[in-house]
Amino acid sequence: MVNTLSQPLTLVEFLTLPETKPASEYIDGQVIQKPMPQGKHSAIQGELVPAINQAVKPEARAFPELRCTYPSGSRSSVYGGRSLVPDVAVFIGQRIPREENGDIANTFSIPPDWTIEILSPDQSQTKVTKNIIHCLTHGTLMGWLIDPHEQTVFVYSSKAEITVFDQTENILPVPDFAKNLSLTIKDLFAWLK
């Protein structure tokens, strides 16, 4: 769902709005509500977060549905910037925002180190890809776009390379900080059984 207001909102105005379920994202002045996750999406997300955390903690941490807000950088417009809610956002430990007492902060004003999106049936692959590319241009090391219907994973690197993985024995590449995670296409989509 796209914002139908008469004029676009600024990022600051968007952040004062109440949260929606499913989450809404802010993309250069537009408010776009993500589609409601369905069975395949939820199954993969529910298994993937603990699998990543088991492999990367304490050096990093995976968060489901975490709002990440940051300016566009190259746009001078007051409507620039994005506030995205990746299906899984992974942060290297020292980059995780913290409160004075050491607890994890509620607000993340930086892009994740690794962003993972799981395509829902009614979701635009183009819009999701643009969000991943936006993250990559702002410091994200790697992005995954998981397509449960096609049982395919598109891997985007910070070097502007895109690789497609659709063979069952393909081991999916991960950022260096997640090298202890070894996951094949077969492993990933076995979570749908």
Q: How many domains does one find in the chain?
A: 1
CA gap 116, 90 in Å, rounded = 8
Residue 74 lies in a domain: no
On whether the CB atoms of residues 31 and 3 are closer than 8 A, the answer is yes
Residue 72 lies in a domain: no
Residue 118 lies in a domain: yes
Query: Would the pTM count as exceeding 0.85?
Result: yes
CA gap 193, 50 in Å, rounded = 18
> Could you tell me what percent of the chain has a pLDDT over 70?
92
Helical (H) or strand (E) element with 136: helix 125-137
Q: CB neighbours (10 Å) of residue 144?
A: 24
Which pLDDT tens digit goes with each residue over 53-73? 999 999 999 999 999 998 765
pLDDT level of residue 78 (50, 70, 90 thresholds): low
pLDDT level of residue 75 (50, 70, 90 thresholds): very low
Residue 141 lies in a domain: yes
Residue 73 lies in a domain: no
Range of the domain at 120: 36-67+84-190
| DSSP structure class, residue 99 | -
Which residue has better confidence, 161 or 79?
161
Residue 22 lies in a domain: no
Which pLDDT tens digit goes with each residue over 86-119? 999 999 999 999 999 999 999 999 999 999 999 9
What would the two tokens of residue 25 be?
């994202």
Residue 170 lies in a domain: yes
CATH number of 163's domain: 3.90.1570.10
Mean predicted lDDT score pLDDT of the chain: 91
Q: CB neighbours (10 Å) of residue 78?
A: 13
User: Of how many residues is the chain composed?
Assistant: 193
Residue 21 lies in a domain: no
How far separated are the first and last CA of the chain, in Å rounded? Answer: 31
Tell me what pLDDT residue 28 has: 82
